[in-house]
Amino acid sequence: MIGDFEMRPHQLFILGGSLLILAMISAAGCRNKDAGPPKSFVRPAFKFDYPAGWAVDDKDKDYDPDHMFSIDASTGAMIMFVIFEPGIEPATALAKMVTQQEKQLPRAAKADFSRWGKFDGVGTELRGKLLSVSPTTIRIFAFQMAGKTFVITELIPDDEKAALDSGFRMIQDSFEVIG
């Protein structure tokens, strides 16, 4: 009996099963996604390493490994790359991406930054509630090199930041422009 409410055995079984399923889903979303040796993403214009448990979303209809792709870090976190060739002004690319992301993060707090990994450029960090529900950070960075403009967008729910931060750093630290 819970309070004045008495649960029957089958109700307890359903409640217990539901709680177990929720716990398993939560654990799956936050499991160690860095387990195993890193994978490499190598293209003619750039290359980088990323955690073994993260997955390139090559099923996306807009997937183009040389110009637009994302890597899923968890159910709610990802990093997206957009490469403009020929390059456009990084500040212009950043402004367009920030405008798009602000629709998902209304009333977000903004902070500018100017370095991502080894690269100098322009960046904006947005902190707010994704679709007005989940506290989330979106970092967008743009830089120009070798006639291309690279725009990187990191989206991570705040409650996953500690678990996934090393994976995002791995990508930043290993990213190289070729050519």
- Look up residue 7 and give its amino acid: M
Look at the chain and report how many structural domains it folds into: 1
pLDDT in tens, 110-149: 999 999 999 999 999 999 998 778 899 999 999 999 999 9
Residue at 97 is within a domain: yes
pLDDT value of residue 9:
43
pLDDT at residue 57, as a whole number? 95
For residue 29, the model assigns a pLDDT of 44
**Alpha carbons 39 and 30: distance in angstroms, whole number:** 19
CA distances from 68 to 73, 79, 80, 104 (A): 17, 11, 7, 20
Mean pLDDT of the chain: 84
Q: Which residue(s) pair with 103 in the sheet?
A: none
| 26 inside domain | no
Domain extent for 81: 31-177
3-state secondary structure of 2: strand
Query: Strands across the sheet with 46-50, in order?
Result: 39-42, 46-50, 176-177
Rounded to the nearest 5°, which phi and psi values hold at 109?
Answer: -75, 140
pLDDT attached to residue 34: 53
What was the pLDDT predicted at 104?
Answer: 86
Q: Distance between CA atoms of 112 and 108, rounded to whole angstroms?
A: 13
Question: Is 55 contained in some domain?
Answer: yes
Kindly state whether residue 15 falls inside one of the protein's structural domains. no
Would 18 be classed as within a structural domain?
A: no
C-beta separation of 139 from 125 below 8 A: yes
Q: Residue count of the chain, please give it.
A: 179
DSSP state of 160: G
25 lies in a domain? Answer: no
User: For the segment 22-62, what is each residue's pLDDT rounded down to a tens digit?
Assistant: 333 333 444 444 568 999 999 999 999 999 999 999 999 99
Q: Is the pLDDT of residue 18 over 50?
A: no
CATH number, domain with residue 102: 3.40.1000.10
| C-alpha–C-alpha distance, residues 167 and 73, integer Å | 8
Tell me which residue of 81, 78, 127 sits closest to 105, measured CA to CA. Answer: 127
pTM of the model: 0.80
Is residue 106 in some structural domain? yes
Over residues 142-171, mean pLDDT: 96
